[in-house]
Amino acid sequence: MKYIYITLLLATMNSFGQLVKVDYADGNQKLEGYFAKAQKANPKKAGVIVLPAWMGLDAHAKESAEALAKLGYHAFVADIYGVGNNPKNTGEAGKNAGFYKNNPAEYQKRIQLAIDQLVKAGADKNQIAVIGYCFGGTGAIEAARGNLNVKGVVSFHGGLGKAANSPTNEIKAKVLVLHGADDPYVPAKEIEAFQNEMRTFKADWQMIYYANSVHAFTHKDAGSDNSKGAAYNELADKRSWEAMKIFFTEIFK
């Protein structure tokens, strides 16, 4: 009876678009993701992976997954760090994020594991997109660099740098970069190198800049002081979300 009750409870949660915790693993490392079922007709069974910022699983990523479900996409918040490894402060966050930035194959592996869970939950393996915020935006670009089977990737105020040990590949996924015009954490040289990389590997890419916007412009808890380098910008937040929606309409047509 207990098993039946839990099964019915999960089915009810899915039917109303609430997030369902999903336990999975990378070898001995336990992972904890969150799934939201599409709340509108989704004939192509399109799915979207959401990659959180450098503090790990957070409310912002979960809210994005719920919003995506309301738009008609299956959504899954990926756990990159693993259970027990979420940083307690920005120092730990920088160390954790730095590991995956410098070891892109490990980042890509964790993203692929999340994709596998999204497919198990009902998404078509050939109709997947990846979005990410800040550190997660870097991950979205890495999904394209690693030629994961995704239709497109979206980076919201993400880092664009490429690790020295990252192999050079043809970039097949379409790429959308949504970037704060005044982001102090992504140097001009990094932007130039990224754009040259996209050109070299003949990617289908777009990059949109938002005026008066710095890092973390979609995060309401980032405050409003641009001088700190990270701040919320309501207009950029809304515009970037709309840009993502248009991009999805194209890649999932």
Whole-angstrom distance, CA of residue 204 vs CA of residue 198: 8
CATH 3.40.50.261 fits 21-251, yes or no: no
Strands 20-26, 174-180: pairing is: unpaired
Q: Report domain extents, the chain.
A: 21-251
Tokens of 70: 């309301």
What does the pLDDT read at residue 4? 37
Tokens of 72: 């008609």
Whole-angstrom distance, CA of residue 218 vs CA of residue 69: 18
Q: Is 131 helix (H, G, I), strand (E, B) or coil?
A: strand
- The helix (run of H) or strand (run of E) holding residue 79 is none
CB atoms within 10 A of CB 43: 8
Rg (CA), the chain: 17
Query: pLDDT of 197-248, one tens digit each?
Result: 999 999 999 999 999 999 999 999 999 999 999 999 999 999 999 999 999 9
Decide: pTM greater than 0.85: yes
Contact 132, 156 (CB under 8 A): yes
Sheet harboring 20-26: ordered strands across? Answer: 20-26, 29-36, 74-77, 47-51, 128-133, 152-156, 174-180, 205-210
Question: Considering Cα of 32, then 39, then 64, then 137, what sign does the dihedral take?
Answer: positive
Q: Predicted confidence band at 13 (pLDDT cuts at 50, 70, 90)?
A: very low
- pLDDT value at 159 more than 80: yes
Whole-angstrom distance, CA of residue 40 vs CA of residue 27: 35
- pLDDT value at 17 more than 80: no
Query: pLDDT of 100-109, one tens digit each?
Result: 999 999 999 9
Beta bridge partner(s), residue 210 = 180
Mean model confidence pLDDT for the chain: 93
- pLDDT value at 130 more than 90: yes
Q: Predicted confidence band at 72 (pLDDT cuts at 50, 70, 90)?
A: very high
Contact 34, 116 (CB under 8 A): no
Beta bridge partner(s), residue 174 = 152
Whole-angstrom distance, CA of residue 93 vs CA of residue 18: 28
